[in-house]
């Protein structure tokens, strides 16, 4: 295993410290000696596979060492001091960041879960690689979950669905998110999973023929541009198809875009040149164009989206992006960490780019808003809400833009303007008209908060707001002003 791991690393980093990598492997192998997984395999195979997943991102040797050693503090007799002496503070901090607190210290599973996430997020703020290792660890555990008892499979899958998958989504690691969703789908809804999988496979051959025909047409139309590009197709993940069926209230037979097509080129200018040809040479589905290059998603995703209808009536979703955008679309912030140095240089030159650390602000926001909250459910809900990267942009009367999660209410907006404004909110005007405090906002609206000094938060307000900031502020007020 260690030779294979070294071989994978050599492909992208021939001058890496292979002695350190081998030392970490041997240390982990010795620490986990005689331990076996539910599958009957030696425990070290899990550590190896976690590290192997990270080589897809071309991550450095210290990160891979952290992956190889990620369970030694939690599951063996090794202590932090020993690890620090052998591997130094950087690798030790990564391992400590992913190590769970002993569950015997907590009164119930929810409290333990909340405190472990709080501990991990504090570590993530210091080093992004902690969450990348943790997600790789969970991905391999989900790949091998079939060896666990059914009840345990469901428990782990639910936790993955509600916490790990949204986190992968929020960080833009779509490749892992999609695989996790399908693995979860198979565990939690096996009948529906296999039904959709069977129908998907029955249509695959015909879909691939149609896609190949569309691909050839696109390549022929783009050839005169004399620019670098490549065209590839990908199947939509089964869970994504299932959610689309639910969202649109359609049967599987009515879902036409089971595959997406990507056109990947070298520059942003060429993305728009390709888009122009596609829109002029093909019939386009009405209202299908979205520009995520000019306005990237909150998780750094950039691409041009449109949907064409071929001459045979085949509907194909097209994504046009650069190689750099494609790397970010697959691995999100994990790709940014790998290319952190060059990325930060670009940040200084390009005002559209934001420093990578800014994309972790939502984690700092969770920790700050929840620092005085002892309710475990409240903390976990805050994580799930903040991981909802589908965001809306609301303007103040002065033209300032305020970013909120989708589903946010007028009262959430008031607290986003300022906590004191939220506490004294008597009403909100949306586009000049008064609305209820529980009114769900839509992107592009202009909101004005009306305040009155004798207005104060009530318990009912907690059922109106969804943002961690608003809930935390309301709870703080109620706690400080409740008569004893």
Structure tokens at 296: 């990237």
Which residues sit opposite 264 in a β-bridge?
Answer: 230, 321
pLDDT at 166: 85
Task: State percent of the chain over pLDDT 70.
Answer: 91
pLDDT digits (tens, 9 = 90+) for 224-256: 999 999 998 888 899 999 998 998 889 998 887
pLDDT at 373: 65
pLDDT digits (tens, 9 = 90+) for 349-358: 343 334 455 5
pLDDT digits (tens, 9 = 90+) for 254-291: 887 788 899 999 999 999 999 999 999 999 988 889 99
- The yes-or-no answer on residue 195 being catalytic is no
CATH code of the domain occupying 364-481: 3.10.20.30
Superfamily of domain 2-143: Hypothetical protein af1432 (1.10.3210.10)
Round the average pLDDT of the chain to a whole number and report it.
86
pLDDT at 417: 92
pLDDT digits (tens, 9 = 90+) for 171-193: 888 889 999 999 999 999 999 99
Other beta carbons within 10 Å of 32: 22
pLDDT at 103: 55
Is residue 376 very low, low, confident or very high in pLDDT (cuts 50, 70, 90)? confident
Q: From the candidates 17, 22, 56, 75, which is the catalytic residue? A: 75
Is residue 204 very low, low, confident or very high in pLDDT (cuts 50, 70, 90)? confident
Q: From the candidates 17, 22, 56, 74, which is the catalytic residue? A: 74
Q: Which CATH class is domain 190-337?
A: alpha beta
| Of the candidates 71, 94, 319, the residue with the CA atom closest to the CA atom of residue 218 | 319
pLDDT at 341: 42
0.85 surpassed by pTM: no
**Residue 384 predicted with pLDDT over 60:** yes
pLDDT digits (tens, 9 = 90+) for 89-115: 999 999 999 988 765 566 677 787 777
pLDDT digits (tens, 9 = 90+) for 295-314: 887 777 899 999 998 887 88
Domain segments of the chain as ranges: 2-143, 190-337, 364-481
- The yes-or-no answer on residue 41 being catalytic is no
pLDDT at 389: 57
Query: Which residues lie closer than 8 Å to 374 by C-beta, 6 or more apart?
Result: none
Query: Which residues lie closer than 8 Å to 88 by C-beta, 6 or more apart?
Result: none
């Amino acid at each position: 295993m260690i030779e294979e791991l070294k071989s994978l690393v050599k492909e992208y980093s021939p001058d890496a410290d292979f002695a350190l990598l081998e030392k970490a492997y041997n240390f982990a192998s010795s620490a986990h000696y005689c331990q076996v997984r539910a599958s009957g395999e030696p425990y070290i195979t899990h550590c190896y596979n976690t590290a192997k997943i990270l080589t897809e991102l071309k991550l450095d040797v210290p990160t891979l060492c952290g992956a190889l050693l990620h369970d030694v503090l939690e599951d063996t007799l090794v202590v932090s001091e020993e690890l620090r002496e052998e591997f130094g503070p950087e690798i030790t901090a990564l391992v400590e960041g992913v190590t769970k607190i002993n569950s015997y210290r907590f009164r119930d599973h929810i409290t333990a879960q909340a405190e472990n996430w709080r501990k991990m997020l504090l570590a993530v703020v210091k080093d992004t690689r902690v969450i990348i290792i943790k997600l790789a660890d969970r991905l391999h555990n989900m790949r091998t979950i079939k060896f666990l008892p059914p009840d345990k499979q469901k428990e782990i899958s639910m936790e993955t669905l509600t916490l790990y998958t949204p986190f992968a989504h929020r960080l833009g690691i779509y490749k892992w998110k999609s695989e996790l969703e399908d693995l979860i789908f198979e565990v939690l809804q096996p009948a529906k999973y296999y039904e959709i999988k069977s129908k998907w496979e029955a249509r695959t051959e015909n879909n691939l023929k149609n896609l190949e025909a569309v691909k050839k047409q696109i390549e022929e139309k783009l050839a005169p541009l004399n620019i670098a590009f490549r065209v590839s197709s990908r199947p939509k993940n089964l869970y994504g198809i299932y959610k689309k069926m639910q969202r649109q209230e359609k049967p599987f037979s009515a879902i036409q875009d089971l595959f997406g097509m990507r056109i990947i080129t070298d520059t942003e200018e060429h993305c728009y040149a390709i888009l122009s040809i596609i829109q002029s040479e093909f019939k386009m589905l009405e209202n299908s164009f979205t520009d995520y290059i000019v306005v990237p998603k909150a998780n750094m995703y950039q691409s041009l989206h449109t949907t064409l209808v071929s001459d045979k009536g085949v509907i194909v979703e097209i994504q046009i992006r650069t190689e750099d955008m494609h790397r970010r679309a697959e691995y999100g912030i994990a790709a940014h960490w790998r290319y952190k140095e060059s990325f930060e240089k670009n940040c200084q030159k390009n005002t559209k780019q934001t420093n990578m650390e800014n994309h972790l602000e939502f984690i700092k926001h969770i920790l700050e808003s929840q620092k005085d909250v002892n309710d475990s459910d409240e903390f976990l809900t805050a994580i799930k809400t903040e991981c909802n990267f589908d965001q809306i942009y609301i303007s103040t009367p002065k033209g300032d833009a305020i970013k909120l999660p989708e589903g946010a209410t007028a009262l959430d907006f008031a607290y986003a303007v300022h906590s004191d404004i939220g506490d004294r909110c008597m009403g909100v005007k949306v586009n000049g008209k008064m609305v209820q405090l529980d009114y769900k906002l839509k992107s592009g609206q202009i909101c004005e908060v009306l305040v009155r000094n004798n207005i104060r938060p009530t318990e009912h307000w907690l059922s109106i707001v969804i943002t961690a900031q608003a809930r935390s502020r309301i709870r703080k007020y109620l706690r400080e002003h409740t008569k004893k």
